[in-house]
A and B are shown apart, each in its own frame.
Chain A
Amino acid sequence: MSPEAAAALQQTRFSTIDGIIVVVYLALSLLIGVMVRRYARNMTAYVGADRKIGTWLGVATMLGTEMGLVTVMYSAQKGFTGGFAAFHIALIAGVTTLIIGATGFIVGPLRRARVLTIPEYYEKRFSRRVRVLGGCILAFGGILNMGLFLKVGSKFIVGITGLSGEGWALPSVMVALLLLVLVYTALGGMISVILTDYVQFVVLSFGILVATGMAIAKLGWFHIFETTHTVLGDAGFNPVAEGSGFGWSYVLWMFVTAGLVGCAVWPTAVSRALAMESEKAVRRQYMVSSISFTVRFMIPYFWGICALVFIHASPEGADLKALFFPPEGSGVEAVDNLYALPVFLGRLLPPVLIGIITAAMIAAFMSTHDSYFLCWSSVITQDIVAPLRGKRGLSEAARVRLTRLIIFALGGYVLYWGLFYEGSDDIWDYMAVTGAIYFNGAIAVLVGGIYWKRASRAGAMAALVAGCTAVFGLGPVQQLVGLQTRDPATGEWVQRLTGAQVGLMSVGLAFAVMVVFSLAMPDRRPSVSEGETSSPAS
């Protein structure tokens, strides 16, 4: 980063009082984790909060988890580059969640099955082998998926507070945030996650509403739309227009990822449904949460658009234009557009409010991390280690202890990935592809298992393996297998298939093999009954 860029990024209104607000908030979160530790007596309480979460607490905690800082950052990036055309993803997410809530599709039967994790359902419906394989794929895809969280989140903190984007600041912020989350998640499990998520919901909701209002007041309602049109043209509004960066296959892919998977298949969202007090509460929660599933994408997109307008057409952001959009042929490297949002907010918001918003965003960061740490660690404990031990089993205390240990191991991985990974992928697309390694197979197994009596163990195993073909959507893998080739004239990589197209083909393949293998290799014996799962908590 050039000295000019570093100096420009350090211009912020973040002051000492804002720092105090952030520290007080973080201390409060830590305190909650320590205080509720005594309630995590067994695995059901530790992972599922004793299945006693009411509808509105479910709504609050769902937003707290699903609107993480990483979501804010990658969504703002999408809004910054794609304009209002990105809004189609928010629309799809909201409508799909509403339909899931109205019909109870997937989540209703899962709650009735009284399982703690999705792979546990695999064992109930199919076999222990399916559970272990599903758990391994889920943990692999999920852990890979959260690899960039820490780095992206820390970039927001660095950008909004005006810390140096290089040197010690970024790693220090990463280590401090990570330690905080690890301590309170490992101590209190789902109970502390739920309680801190509630506090985060309150701070986050009012914080983002105020910030959005201020952005509109500052830039002007009509000015935002006009400038977006000037900069991006029709492609800034129409997601299927040429040059929008989306297209029909992308829109269809979003129905799968941001829609169906985001609310009904992704484990961190489903774990909320499984912890609710009743199926009725689950469905009601999903219907209300359709608002937050829309807003969690829409508002960050809008903030990204506002950052674009601020840089292009506001006197206060004029110095940023040459940094984020250097003239072609100038040889100057553009500043990472992930910094656009925090720098915009750092210059827009007044003191105190900037502290509250920063606290809210750190809250969002923590609420995502704690849920993900808990989710993946409990999957490894419940769905891989415990079933593999067979009859010897694992005691309740050993499960809680192992889950805590894995949480710390995952923390080490996330820190390593954050410090050393140097990828330049679009964050949302990276996450969609890594997540698809798990969910492409899981969709077929869940839908087949719940709604098709003839779905067999062989079909489930084949579908889970077929879902892994989503990995061919990742840029480096595409280059390795020849799905991307270098253009001899420009030297740039040219895609033969986009990540969205690979993802759609992979979903189709998973469903196809589920049907073919189930018909060709039906189960001889009935599936494992509910009482035979290896989880004592269920």
Chain B
Amino acid sequence: MDWTLLWKLMLVVMLGLFAVMAVFGTILGGRDVRRLLKHLRQPEADEETETETEATPPSD
């Protein structure tokens, strides 16, 4: 078995794949960050609405 050739091939292939993954991870990971933050803000807004509703006295 030619170990040197195996490790050379592995190094080249994995560096190439990693470069592609870095680009995809940066772009699509950024999209996921925006989605996560949007979700995290949502319940906070709901909680605030509920608090405001409870604080309002009955109209009668």
List A residues at the B interface (Cβ < 8 Å). Answer: 36, 38-39, 41, 45, 49-50, 52-60, 63, 84-85, 87, 90-91, 94, 191, 194-195, 198, 201-202, 205-206, 209, 212, 225, 229, 234, 237-238, 288, 291-292, 294-295, 298-299, 302
Contact = CB atoms under 8 A, between A and B. Distances in A.
B59 interface: no
A208 to B, nearest CB: 8
Nearest to A202: B26
B30 A198 contact: yes
Interface in B9-38: 10-11, 14-15, 17-19, 21-22, 24-26, 28-33, 35-36
Given A56-B31, A195-B33, A298-B10, A50 B25 contact: no
A201 B25 contact: yes
B11 A302 contact: yes
The 9 A-B residue pairs with the shortest CB-CB distance, nearest first, are A54-B32, A57-B32, A205-B22, A56-B28, A237-B3, A60-B29, A39-B40, A56-B29, A84-B7
Given A52-B40, A59-B25, A191-B36, 8 more contacts: A39-B41, A52-B35, A52-B39, A63-B25, A87-B7, A87-B11, A202-B25, A238-B1
- Which of B1, B10, B14, B29 has the most A CB atoms < 10 Å from its CB? B29
Determine chain A's interface SS by DSSP, over half rule.
Answer: helix
Contact of B4 (A209, A237, A288, A294): A237
12 contacts: A38-B44, A53-B36, A55-B28, A56-B28, A56-B31, A87-B7, A90-B14, A191-B40, A194-B33, A198-B29, A291-B17, A295-B14
A53 B39 contact: no
B21 A209 contact: no
A57 B33 CA distance: 7
Contacts, number: 109
A50 B40 contact: yes
Contact of A225 (B4, B14, B22): B4
Given A295-B18, A302-B11, A238 B3 contact: yes
Given A39-B44, A238-B3, A291 B14 contact: yes
B36 A194 contact: yes
A292 B18 CA distance: 7
A298 B31 CA distance: 28
Given A39-B44, A84-B4, A198-B30, A288 B10 contact: no
Given A191-B40, A195-B33, A206 B14 contact: no
A292 to B, nearest CB: 7
Contact of A54 (B7, B11, B35): B35
Interface of B: 1, 3-4, 7-8, 10-11, 14-15, 17-19, 21-22, 24-26, 28-33, 35-36, 39-41, 43-44
Given A39-B44, A205-B26, A91 B10 contact: yes
Contacts of B18: 205, 209, 291-292, 295, 299
Contacts of A60: 25-26, 29
Nearest to B30: A198
Contacts of B26: 60, 201-202, 205
Contact of A53 (B11, B25, B32, B41): B32
Nearest to B1: A238
B21 A291 contact: yes
A50 B39 contact: yes
Contact of B22 (A52, A94, A209, A238): A209
B3 A225 contact: no
Contact of B36 (A52, A55, A94, A201): A52
Contacts of B39: 50, 52
A295 B30 CA distance: 21
A202 to B, nearest CB: 5
Contact of A205 (B11, B25, B33, B35): B25
A205 B24 CA distance: 11
Given A56-B29, A237-B4, A209 B15 contact: yes
A89 B31 CA distance: 33
Contact of B32 (A41, A55, A63, A237): A55
Contacts of A36: 40
A201 B14 contact: no
A288 B23 CA distance: 13
Contacts of A205: 18, 21-22, 25-26
A212 B15 contact: yes
B1 to A, nearest CB: 8
Contacts of A90: 10, 14
Contact of A209 (B19, B31, B36, B41): B19
A39 B47 CA distance: 12
A338 B15 CA distance: 24
Chain A CB within 10 Å — which of B15, B35, B41 has the most? Answer: B15
A60 B25 CA distance: 6
A288 to B, nearest CB: 7
B49 to A, nearest CB: 15
